[in-house]
Structure 1
Amino acid sequence: MTARLALSLAALAATALWLAAALHLLPFERWPGWPLDPRNMDIAQILLGFGLMPRGVVALLAGAMLGLSGAILQVVLRNPVADPTTLGISAGAQLALVMATMLTPGLLDHGRWPVALAGAGLAAGLVLLIGAWRGFAPVTTVIAGMLVGMTASAVATAMTLAQGQYLLSLVIWNGGSLVQGDWSGVRVLAGVLAFGGLAAAALARPLRVLSLGVEGASGLGLNVAGVRLLAVGVAVVLAAAVSAELGLIAFVGLAAPALARTMGAASIPRLLALSPVVGALILSVCDGVVLLVAGQAGEMFPTGALTGLIGGPLLIWLLPRLRGSTPPGTERAEGPAPRRDRPAPLLIGLAVALVLAALVLVWIGRVPGGWAVLDAQSYAAFLPMRLPRLIAAAAAGAALALAGAILQRLTANPLASPEVLGVSGGAAMGYAGVVYLVAAPTAVALALGTMAGGALALVLIAAFVSRRDMPAERVLLAGIAVSALASALLSAAMAVGDTRSFQILAWLSGSSSAVTMPGALALAAVAGVLWTGALLAQRWLAVLPLGTGVAGGLGLPLRLARMLLIALAGLATGAATVLVGPLSFVGLMAPHVARRLGLARPGDHVTGAALIGAGLMLLADFGARMAGFPYELPLGLFASLIGAPWLIWLMMRPHR
């Protein structure tokens, strides 16, 4: 099929879907004439002329802007999986708009566009800073972008949950709704697209020079840093304008350039010209499908949720194309960790500190008059309420830390964690599946579904990368793709707006307030069993980081070892995710802290990581309860606010 034929068929499909929706609303002979005058129109004509008509144009404009934004980012970063979603730009705009809506609505008096641009620019600047520190290695840059985006989305979700009066509207807006009430959105997006098109035309030649590489471009007199900043700035403006008008629309900027290349857009000018056309058709077809479903059963989910469903599979499909595109030596793990000769005193000290911290956190708290230390009578009254959540928080932290330590050794990559490898995303899908498929799900059913989802996600990733012999960095990106797909599916499910959606939204933020003593003890028992399993697998954990060749030469049963360790990590993540939600970064932080403390041997490493993870989650639970007193912040949010700075610092550390 030629490119022209494919584009013609897509345009025909988009037109047919829109016409079907328009004719369902109003017969053709009753369509209003131009110019539109609402004073001479009935309700159906107003809905068509000021709703459906601008919506069709907005779909084309927004898709073109996202396609052009993605093409610019991919060219300037020489990265085939870069787009406003994978680089965290759209999520940064989303978070800025949510914060402005709730905290300082006066900032929106002049429109949402400046606020969205500020948020998108800050997110892009952070990702570019990390990318520049790592030589703009493609995989590392995208990992940084998607983790920044995940963190921003988590904070936005928690803030949305905390403001009940905005809940439904923000959930739908975050999903990317194309619903229009007039033609103002068309005018704004058309103006921004015109600016982006002119800027892209002016940047086409410098970008073609930049494609020769930094050294070659610099040798030809090109200001590489200036061109990068200008190009990324144009891409940020395009993506931020779409987020301000429509909300979060995912992965159109990834899909459009990829499809344009398959249609023969080999040169940079042709790619920049064809990607907006493909992006416009993608979003228009997706919106047409939403309109078609809406005509039968009412509009049940926003268009942005549907576009997100293509992102995860597409990103996984594009992973093999990254092979060879990373500069040699720019994506290696850290150097040898310090090794403590006598780790027992440190481990005992960590255990004692954990017990003392639990006692102190039970004893102190906040009351309307300020901080207070409980007397004996108050202590006895509060202990039954506080002890279960402390046990559960510590057990969840230990389980996540165990999963992170196992995954880091399994992949030989210091950035591996349940959040990064898609295990948490799979666990979230397992939880949502039980909520939607079981009429009255019990706590046991939710726990089993969450654990099964986490394990299944990790098995799928392992199966995908093992067949293609991908390096560890690609494993991480495959996991992030699974997380992106899970996030899109959850957004689509939550946008329906029924009570099950609110249950999932509350769980996503994480909370230990409703945990009971039996549930806490069960989670502690699971953490203990997983720790025992990790200790029994010490030899595997010691040999696997040496590589498959060495491990196989030493007689290690590679397939069995990997599958069992994957199962351990999946079960640990699923059990903990039931309590704290899918995003905490404890599984990333705790193993690193243990490694930096000299706990290098596998048994010492997993034990120290479990103790440190338990302590981090205890502190997060205490902070979640006290920081917003008398209201409680989501536990998962508070833990992620600790983890995000750690992640950024970690990725900006120089290589050894």
Structure 2
Amino acid sequence: MRKAAILALAAGLAAILWGLAARQMLPSGWPSLPFDASAMSLQQILIAFGMMPRGMIALVAGAALGLSGALLQAVLRNPVADPTTLGISSGAQLALVMATIFAPGLLEVGRWPVALVGAGLAAGLVIAIGARRAFAPVTMVIAGMLVGLTTSAIATAITLSRGEYLLSLVIWNGGSLVQQDWSGVLSLTAVLIVGAIGAALLARPLRVLSLGAAGASALGLNVAGVRLAVILLAVLLAGAVSAELGLIGFVGLAAPALARSMGARSMGQVLALAPLIGALILSVCDGVVLTLAGATGEMFPTGALTGLIGGPLLIWLLPRLRGSTPPGTETAEGIAPRLAHPVTFLIVFGLAGLALAGLLAWIGRVPHGWAVLDWDSFNAFLPLRLPRIVAAAAVGALLAMAGAILQRLTANPLASPEVLGVSGGAAIGYALTLFATGTPIPALQMLGTMLGGAMALALVAAYARRRDMPAERVLLAGISVSAMAAAVLSAIMATGSAQSWQVLAWLSGSSSTVGWWQAASLGGLAVLVLVLARMAARWLQILPLGPEVSLGLGLPLDRARVGLIALAGVATGAATVLVGPVSFVGLMAPHLSRRIGFARAQDHIAGSALIGAILMIAADFGARMAGFPYELPLGLFASLLGAPWLLWLMMRMRR
């Protein structure tokens, strides 16, 4: 009875919000069936072919996402699996962005095939990674959200680099439910019907699979076949929504969780109740958006509210996860070499970085091709190029040291500053400062950005203080913050305001505006972080052995975790303030350092800093030269360097 009352209350709220929004547009009277545009006023046409399809598609899309999330959570036995956390929606996004820009002919038959291919490839990659670790819940979500962050970063950078498609792609990425006719409703309804029939047929096999893969196989169930069928069905539902509406995040996470909290226990109950709850969630969120639009005149995409719901919900569900990422995963790559004389190699890398910086400052492009600057031209350009080279090197070093600290702290090779949540929090702080002050002065802009990063850091640190919280859950908390930030920023950018373009440009990453004092500040901070990290070398050497060993050796575990996360957060936040949330250098550099042979903690940190500096100098040069005479996003080059490494690394990891 309580369950029915809650659902009725939510349905009533959605109906009231939608009715109020429609009434604001139509004070004269409702359109009557059959809808004949020639006999309607303009306001009635907007209601019949705009507002009413919008209200229906919110219900249909919410139901499809709720059912998709319930299927994924059932087949993977993972309470935080959904199209967002497993990278399915982001895969569809990247496929559509790339098709729009590089192969528009593929869209002649519609967006659906392209979106479904992208969603399927992303899901296939995540499932392949998860299968190598027996679909451990934490591993699956970390892999899925990292794939999602990868694809989203590349899609954003490519979008920014092609201005003629910028507005349409940004608005689509925000997840807007705006409709012009009933075709989208009919298409998604057909997909939902197929999904419902498929879910009904798969409910019994899923109940058997809930006993575990071994038990289900002993009962004669084709486990691989059932998993494939369920995942394909979930991808169809989520990919269709992404193709029609853009990115609507976390509805598939919230709906099954709320269904279970309302008393649904059996597989059939969850599969039946989750679509209904998903429909109500999206309908209420869209009603709130329409009501705010009527009151303020500013229309936000509905993806903004669903993103705000999903992040806190995911963090709330983290302690309820079972399964973990096994410690010591570095051994999955084989025994790392150990240099006999690491100091010599550190000196060589330092000299190599200086030589590369000098070489890239000396060469450039002119209208007729590549050229080596003469001495006079070199002297003229050096004051312009040197600050950004120094800043790029310092940013690379800061991100690399943060990544090395996090990987040792969590004993997880997938840890990096980008998934700590600090970059996402700093980006929200930057965006809110722009919207609150219009054109803020640099000091205020820096303060807002640092405060945003500090809030994200405080949230993650709160998890780190819990001794019963495994280190990989701390990493997952950071990923949750990053995913929530990405959803909110997509919605902000989709408003099309002047501030949204500034946010988009900053998110792509650029060192072009860095002056001497910023470069010197970053360089000084990089040196300070290096010194502090070397002072904490004993902590960093012991922590990968696990919490029990660390406590047995007298390590102050709580203080060590909080202190190291704070150090990594400051390094990441400072780099983010000036050049945007550059991606994946903090993941690559520590791994390269370890594989080269920098085994001891202090050598690992120093080697990571030097390699990160070299990588960012190279990425900055590519950003300046590849699109000459225009500068392309620095984040694009960092992502293109990091994404293949990330995928290769995850595919090598085993249980």
TM-score range for the pair, normalised by the shorter chain length: over 0.9
* Partner residue, 1:316: 315
Q: Does the Cα contact within 8 Å between 1:451 and 1:573 map onto a contact in 2?
A: no
The one-letter code matched in structure 2 to 1:469 is D
1:58 aligns with 2:54: no
Q: Aligned equivalents of 1:444 and 1:548: distance in 2? A: 40
SS at 2:364 equivalent: strand
SS at 2:170 equivalent: helix
The one-letter code matched in structure 2 to 1:473 is E
* Partner residue, 2:329: 333
* Partner residue, 2:12: 12
The alpha-carbon distance between structure 1 residues 601 and 235, as it changes in their structure 2 partners (threshold 3 A), is same
Q: Does the Cα contact within 8 Å between 1:366 and 1:626 map onto a contact in 2?
A: yes
1:454 aligns with 2:453: yes
SS at 1:310 equivalent: helix
Q: Does the Cα contact within 8 Å between 1:18 and 1:56 map onto a contact in 2?
A: yes
Q: Aligned equivalents of 1:620 and 1:151: distance in 2? A: 17
SS at 1:366 equivalent: strand
1:275 aligns with 2:271: no
Deviation at 1:159, TM superposition (A): 2.3
TM-score w.r.t. the length of structure 1 is 0.95
Q: Aligned equivalents of 1:191 and 1:89: distance in 2? A: 20
Q: C-alpha deviations, 1:601-631, integer Å up to 9, x for none?
A: 2211111110011011111112222333333
Deviation at 1:181, TM superposition (A): 0.9
Q: Aligned equivalents of 2:242 and 2:360: distance in 1? A: 42
Deviation at 1:541, TM superposition (A): 2.3
* Partner residue, 2:647: 648
SS at 1:475 equivalent: helix
Q: C-alpha deviations, 1:124-181, integer Å up to 9, x for none?
A: 1111121122221111111111111111111221222223333333222211111111
Deviation at 1:559, TM superposition (A): 3.9
Deviation at 1:642, TM superposition (A): 1.0
Q: Does the Cα contact within 8 Å between 1:459 and 1:566 map onto a contact in 2?
A: no
* Partner residue, 1:423: 422
SS at 1:14 equivalent: helix
Deviation at 1:515, TM superposition (A): 1.7
Q: Does the Cα contact within 8 Å between 1:69 and 1:234 map onto a contact in 2?
A: yes
Q: Aligned equivalents of 1:529 and 1:332: distance in 2? A: 29
Larger deviation, residues 206-215 vs 184-193? 206-215
Q: Aligned equivalents of 1:581 and 1:316: distance in 2? A: 25
Q: Aligned equivalents of 2:442 and 2:550: distance in 1? A: 40
Q: Does the Cα contact within 8 Å between 2:328 and 2:545 map onto a contact in 1?
A: no
* Partner residue, 2:93: 94
Q: Does the Cα contact within 8 Å between 1:135 and 1:330 map onto a contact in 2?
A: no
Q: Does the Cα contact within 8 Å between 1:338 and 1:597 map onto a contact in 2?
A: yes
* Partner residue, 1:620: 619
Deviation at 1:555, TM superposition (A): 4.1
Q: Aligned equivalents of 1:451 and 1:432: distance in 2? A: 12
* Partner residue, 1:292: 291
Larger deviation, residues 57-66 vs 620-629? 620-629
Q: Does the Cα contact within 8 Å between 1:173 and 1:246 map onto a contact in 2?
A: yes
Q: C-alpha deviations, 1:386-441, integer Å up to 9, x for none?
A: 22211111110001011111222222322221112212112222322332334543
The one-letter code matched in structure 1 to 2:589 is A
1:34 aligns with 2:33: yes
SS at 1:416 equivalent: coil
1:77 aligns with 2:73: no
SS at 2:572 equivalent: helix
Q: Aligned equivalents of 1:106 and 1:229: distance in 2? A: 30
The one-letter code matched in structure 2 to 1:417 is S
* Partner residue, 1:610: 609
Q: Aligned equivalents of 1:469 and 1:337: distance in 2? A: 30
SS at 1:334 equivalent: helix
SS at 2:417 equivalent: coil
Larger deviation, residues 103-112 vs 71-80? 103-112
Q: Does the Cα contact within 8 Å between 1:87 and 1:124 map onto a contact in 2?
A: yes
Q: Aligned equivalents of 1:536 and 1:446: distance in 2? A: 32
Q: C-alpha deviations, 1:359-387, integer Å up to 9, x for none?
A: 11112233333333223233223222222
Deviation at 1:473, TM superposition (A): 1.8
Once the two structures are superposed, the pairs formed by residues 394-473 of structure 1 within 5 Å of their partners are 394-467=393-466, 469-473=468-472
1:343 aligns with 2:342: yes
The one-letter code matched in structure 2 to 1:334 is E
The one-letter code matched in structure 2 to 1:478 is A
Once the two structures are superposed, the pairs formed by residues 176-187 of structure 1 within 5 Å of their partners are 176-187=175-186
Q: Aligned equivalents of 1:533 and 1:436: distance in 2? A: 36
Q: Does the Cα contact within 8 Å between 2:328 and 2:411 map onto a contact in 1?
A: no
Q: Aligned equivalents of 2:395 and 2:580: distance in 1? A: 10
The one-letter code matched in structure 2 to 1:23 is R
The one-letter code matched in structure 2 to 1:358 is A
Deviation at 1:81, TM superposition (A): 0.6
Q: Does the Cα contact within 8 Å between 2:177 and 2:301 map onto a contact in 1?
A: yes
* Partner residue, 1:2: 2
Q: Does the Cα contact within 8 Å between 2:290 and 2:299 map onto a contact in 1?
A: no
Q: Does the Cα contact within 8 Å between 1:137 and 1:331 map onto a contact in 2?
A: no
Deviation at 1:654, TM superposition (A): 4.1
SS at 1:371 equivalent: strand
The one-letter code matched in structure 2 to 1:143 is I
The one-letter code matched in structure 1 to 2:14 is A
Larger deviation, residues 499-508 vs 516-525? 516-525
Deviation at 1:655, TM superposition (A): 4.1
Deviation at 1:182, TM superposition (A): 0.8
SS at 1:372 equivalent: strand
* Partner residue, 2:23: 23
The alpha-carbon distance between structure 1 residues 137 and 332, as it changes in their structure 2 partners (threshold 3 A), is farther
Q: Aligned equivalents of 1:41 and 1:216: distance in 2? A: 62
Q: Does the Cα contact within 8 Å between 1:290 and 1:301 map onto a contact in 2?
A: yes
Once the two structures are superposed, the pairs formed by residues 334-373 of structure 1 within 5 Å of their partners are 334-335=330-331, 337-373=336-372
Q: Percent identical across equivalent pairs?
A: 68
* Partner residue, 1:129: 128
SS at 2:80 equivalent: coil
The alpha-carbon distance between structure 1 residues 269 and 104, as it changes in their structure 2 partners (threshold 3 A), is same
Question: Would you say how many aligned residue pairs link Structure 1 and Structure 2?
Answer: 652
Q: Aligned equivalents of 1:269 and 1:151: distance in 2? A: 35
SS at 1:467 equivalent: coil
The one-letter code matched in structure 1 to 2:82 is D
1:520 aligns with 2:519: yes
SS at 2:106 equivalent: helix
The alpha-carbon distance between structure 1 residues 557 and 452, as it changes in their structure 2 partners (threshold 3 A), is farther
Q: Does the Cα contact within 8 Å between 2:622 and 2:637 map onto a contact in 1?
A: yes
Deviation at 1:355, TM superposition (A): 0.8
The one-letter code matched in structure 1 to 2:522 is L
Q: Does the Cα contact within 8 Å between 1:92 and 1:123 map onto a contact in 2?
A: yes
Q: Aligned equivalents of 2:36 and 2:572: distance in 1? A: 58
Deviation at 1:331, TM superposition (A): 6.2
Q: Does the Cα contact within 8 Å between 1:508 and 1:581 map onto a contact in 2?
A: yes
* Partner residue, 2:138: 139
Q: Does the Cα contact within 8 Å between 1:625 and 1:631 map onto a contact in 2?
A: yes
Q: Does the Cα contact within 8 Å between 2:174 and 2:303 map onto a contact in 1?
A: yes
Q: Aligned equivalents of 2:199 and 2:556: distance in 1? A: 53
* Partner residue, 2:504: 505
Q: Does the Cα contact within 8 Å between 2:418 and 2:583 map onto a contact in 1?
A: yes
SS at 1:652 equivalent: helix
Larger deviation, residues 78-87 vs 591-600? 591-600
Q: Aligned equivalents of 1:453 and 1:572: distance in 2? A: 14
Q: Does the Cα contact within 8 Å between 2:158 and 2:636 map onto a contact in 1?
A: no
* Partner residue, 1:261: 260
Q: Aligned equivalents of 1:98 and 1:651: distance in 2? A: 24
Q: C-alpha deviations, 1:160-217, integer Å up to 9, x for none?
A: 2223333333222211111111111111111111111111111112222222221222
* Partner residue, 1:479: 478
Q: Aligned equivalents of 1:306 and 1:451: distance in 2? A: 24
SS at 2:81 equivalent: coil
Larger deviation, residues 622-631 vs 293-302? 622-631
Q: Aligned equivalents of 2:60 and 2:617: distance in 1? A: 48
Q: C-alpha deviations, 1:317-355, integer Å up to 9, x for none?
A: 1111213x45xx856532364432321111111111111
The alpha-carbon distance between structure 1 residues 448 and 590, as it changes in their structure 2 partners (threshold 3 A), is farther
* Partner residue, 2:206: 207
